[in-house]
Amino acid sequence: MIEHVMFVSRTQFERLVGDPTLAVISVTDPGQPDVVAPPGFLVSFPVKFTDTLRPSDAEVIVGFIRMIHRCPQFAGLLVQSPQGQGRAAALALFASLLCDAAIQGEKPTWLAAPSVLEQLCCAAGLPVPRLPSNPVRGTPAVGRGSKASVHCLPEPCAIGLNGSGARTSAVSV
């Protein structure tokens, strides 16, 4: 069950010690090689996209997050991307909303790519939340153990990863 979500850059990710209680979503750019998860992580789900997702790709990502959330051996989700900002922040914020999980770490969620967050929410049938504002503008961002301001209860999902329900599998979107 996903209780906390983190997002980091590729550089930070490659320095981590693997944690079998964390599932990983590894975002890379199309045409770039997948990032190999450090030893110790049991599930690493590589996805390739820019700041736009096809609806079918968003549905696969949503299915993966729901599947991991149903697995009691996972306490959290770690999302990595090259810079650990736009796409990773959007995926982490979405997972926080979907699973009612706390976002951990130092990076603010106002870095989230709005189009990615919108596409994921649409694929999950959830309302699209207003992104937290840059704290410089006066509105604090979600982060450091807080939960996103819109909480959506997870719905049962009949599909698993690629419809198979397999727990460990890597799919490039």
Q: Give the CATH number of the domain where residue 54 resides.
A: 3.90.190
Residue 43 in domain: yes
Residue 147 in domain: yes
Burial 20-51 (b: 16+ CB within 10 A, else e): eebbbbbbbeeeeeebebeeebbbbbbbbbee
User: Which residues form the domain of 117?
Assistant: 4-163
pLDDT, position 133 = 62
pLDDT, position 68 = 96
User: Can you read off the two tokens belonging to residue 3?
Assistant: 């209780």
Residue 145 in domain: yes
pLDDT, position 6 = 93
The continuous run of DSSP H or E covering 120 comes out as: helix 114-124
Computed over its alpha carbons, how large is the radius of gyration of the chain? 14
Residue 169 in domain: no
- Residue spans of the chain under pLDDT 70: 106-108, 132-173
Torsion angle of the four alpha carbons 122, 161, 61, 3, in this order, in degrees rounded to the nearest 10: 100
pLDDT, position 163 = 31
User: What's the CA gap between 1 and 73, in Å, rounded?
Assistant: 7
Phi/psi-derived region of residue 161, left when phi > 0, alpha when psi is between -120 and 50, beta in every other case: beta
Neighbours of 158 (CB within 10 A): 9
pLDDT, position 153 = 29
pLDDT, position 107 = 67
pLDDT, position 173 = 36
Torsion angle of the four alpha carbons 31, 35, 41, 44, in this order, in degrees rounded to the nearest 10: -10
Total structural domains in the chain? 1
The residue assigned the tokens 């937290």 is 132
pLDDT, position 32 = 93
pLDDT, position 52 = 84
The residue assigned the tokens 């550089």 is 11
Residue 170 in domain: no
